[in-house]
Amino acid sequence: MGKMISYCGLVCSDCGAYLATKTNDNNLRKQQAEEWSKQFGTQIKPEDINCNGCTTKDKMSFNYCNVCEIRKCGQEKQVKNCAWCVEYACEKLEKFFAMAPTAKASLEEIRNNK
């Protein structure tokens, strides 16, 4: 299986929620819920850890993905991910890249190899 890159450049196929869903691994769901609960200062339940990836057409994506402005924009523009957008890199992405430089590196690699 190749890498699945989200609209913003995060690697969905490396994400604990994606992996737990694909392997139906309840221990991984529990582990990911605990990690994200601490990281984001909120309560996430293991049963919330179900995701088929950011760019999936179905409704099974993690809670935040359903309100993510970058994802919404990518879907509206019907691009594979933001690397393919004519407005790359927009203000939304630049703000996100400040928190997630690895996401920028993923998208830059895609842009350089188009």
The pLDDT of residue 54: 87
What are the pLDDT tens digits along the chain (114 aa)?
Answer: 578 999 999 999 999 999 999 999 999 999 999 999 998 899 999 998 989 888 887 666 777 777 889 999 999 999 999 999 999 999 999 999 999 999 999 999 999 987
The pLDDT of residue 1: 53
The pLDDT of residue 66: 77
CA distance 37 to 92: 24
The pLDDT of residue 67: 82
CA distance 59 to 79: 18
| 100: preceding bond cis by omega (within 30 degrees) | no
The pLDDT of residue 60: 66
Instruction: Please give the DSSP secondary-structure letter assigned to residue 4.
Output: -
| pTM of the shown model | 0.83
The pLDDT of residue 57: 76
The pLDDT of residue 55: 86
